[in-house]
Amino acid sequence: MGVPNELARFCLSILPVLVLLFGLQFLDSYKLVRLRRILAAVLVGCAIAAGCYALNSVALVTMPVRGPYYATFGAPVVEESLKALYIIYLIRTNRVGFMVDAAICGFAVGAGFAVLENCIYMRVFADSSLFLWTIRGFGTAMMHGGTTCLFAIISSNLWGRSASPSWRAFVPGLALATVIHAVYNQAFFPPLPSTVAILVGLPILLSLIFIQSEHSLHAWLGTKLDKDIDLMEMIASGRFAETRAGSYLHSLRKSFPPELVGDMLSMLHLSLELSARAKGDLIRREAGFPITPDPSLPAKLKELTYLEKSIGRAGKMALAPLLSMSTRDLWEIYVLGGGGTVEGLN
C-alpha cells in the first residue's frame, strides 16, 4: 500500500474529530479552556486508549463474554469508565465550572482516545479500505468524543447543583455514555447512516449546549458581580454592621473568639474581592481586552489559604450563610490563579 494511501487513511481517521475539537474552542467566547489544557486532555485520552487496548486484548481471551458480545457489552463499560476518570478529577478539583469548559475537556479526552485507537487499528488492519477509515474518522471517533463530552456536561451540572455533591452525580452521565457506545457498537443501523447521523447531530447538539451555557454565564456574571460589589462596598464603608449579614457575623462572637471572627470578616472581604476580580477578567476576556496580571494576586491567594486554615472547619460552616463556596466559586479562584489550585479549597 503506497504512502498517499497511508496518508489518506491517517487523515480520514483523525482529522474530523480534531477539527471539531478546536472548532469548539473558537465557540468559547470567554476562552475558559486554554490550549494547554486541551492538549493535556488529548494526551490523557491517548494514554487511556493505550490502557484500554491492553485491557480489552486480555479480556477478549479470558472473559466469559467474548468476540462481538464483548464489543457490545464489555468494551463500552471499560472504555467509558476510564475516559470518565479524568473528567471526574477535573470536576472534583473545581477545574471546570460551566457546560462549555466541561464539554471541551470531555470532547478532548474522547478525541485523544479516538486518535490513538485509530492509529493502533491502522497497523492491525493494514489492508483495509478507505471507506473503513472514513467511517472510523467521521463516525467512531466522533462517538468517542461525543460520549465523553455528554458525560462531562451531565456530571458537571449535577455536581454543581447539589448542595452536598457525591459520587452519585457521575452515575447518570456514565450510564448514558455507556449505552450510546454499546448501541453504536451493536450496529443496529448500516455504518454510513450511523456516521452521517453522528456527523450532523453532534455539532448541532454541542452548538445548542454552548448557546445555553453562554446565556447562563452571562446571567451569572451579572447578578453575582453586582452582589459581590455591593457587599464589598458595605464592608469598606462601615455599613456592613447595619446589615443582616453584619448582625449575623456579630452574633458569632458568642461562639468564637473575637480574633477568629475577625479572620472570618477578612476571609469574606478577600473572597468577595477575588470573586469580583475573576468575573471582571472574564468579562474583559469576552470583550477581547487583554488581561493585566495583578502582581499582588499570589499573595492574596496565599492569604486566603491561610485564613481558611485559621478559621477551621467549624468557622467555615458558620461562615457558609455569608460565603457560599459553591463549585463555581471555587472554579473562579482556579481561573483567577491562572490554572493553579488553591490549597485547601479543593
Provide DSSP, 41-57: HHHHHHHHHHHHHHHHH
78 and 182, same domain (yes or no):
yes
Please tell me the predicted confidence (pLDDT) of residue 345. 42
24 and 117, same domain (yes or no):
yes
Is residue 194 one of the residues assigned to a domain? yes
Secondary structure class of 84 (helix, strand, coil): helix
- Residue 123 burial class via C-beta count within 10 angstroms: exposed 0-12, middle 13-18, buried 19 and up: exposed
79 and 182, same domain (yes or no):
yes
Q: Which domain holds residue 250?
A: 238-336
Do residues 122 and 10 touch, judged by C-beta distance below 8 A?
yes
161 and 105, same domain (yes or no):
yes
Do residues 207 and 155 touch, judged by C-beta distance below 8 A?
no
| E strand or H helix at 290 | none
Query: Would you give per-residue pLDDT tens digits along the chain (346 residues)?
Result: 555 667 777 787 788 888 888 888 777 666 678 888 899 999 999 999 999 999 988 887 777 665 667 777 788 999 999 999 999 999 988 888 778 888 899 999 999 999 999 888 887 776 667 777 777 778 888 999 999 999 999 998 888 777 677 899 999 999 999 999 998 888 777 777 888 888 888 888 877 877 777 667 666 655 565 566 666 666 666 666 666 667 777 777 777 888 888 888 888 778 777 777 777 777 776 667 777 777 777 788 788 888 888 888 777 777 776 665 556 666 666 666 655 444 434 4
Cα gap 78→184, rounded to integer Å: 15
**Which of 31, 172, 117, 98 has the alpha carbon at shortest distance from 90?**
98
344 φ/ψ angles, rounded to the nearest 5 degrees? 90, -20
206 and 282, same domain (yes or no):
no
| E strand or H helix at 180 | helix 171-186
Cα gap 234→328, rounded to integer Å: 23
Please tell me the predicted confidence (pLDDT) of residue 343. 40
Is residue 223 one of the residues assigned to a domain? no
181 and 243, same domain (yes or no):
no
pTM for this entry: 0.70
Is residue 229 one of the residues assigned to a domain? no
DSSP 240: G
The amino acid that residue 251 corresponds to is S
Please tell me the predicted confidence (pLDDT) of residue 30. 61
Is residue 225 one of the residues assigned to a domain? no
Cα gap 297→319, rounded to integer Å: 23
Is residue 44 one of the residues assigned to a domain? yes
194 and 86, same domain (yes or no):
yes
Residue that finishes a domain, picked among 198, 214, 230: 214
Q: Which three cell numbers stand for residue 14?
A: 483523525
Is residue 345 one of the residues assigned to a domain? no
Helices (H) and strands (E) in the chain, counts: 13, 0
Is residue 222 one of the residues assigned to a domain? no
Please tell me the predicted confidence (pLDDT) of residue 77. 93
Q: In terms of DSSP H, where are the helices of the chain? A: 3-27, 35-62, 67-73, 75-92, 99-124, 130-135, 141-161, 171-186, 191-237, 244-251, 258-287, 297-319, 327-336
243 and 206, same domain (yes or no):
no
Please tell me the predicted confidence (pLDDT) of residue 252. 76
Residue that finishes a domain, picked among 199, 214, 229: 214
Total domains in the chain come to 2
199 and 313, same domain (yes or no):
no
Residue that finishes a domain, picked among 158, 179, 214: 214
Q: How far is CA 179 from CA 39, 77, 80, 159, 223, in A?
A: 27, 9, 10, 21, 38
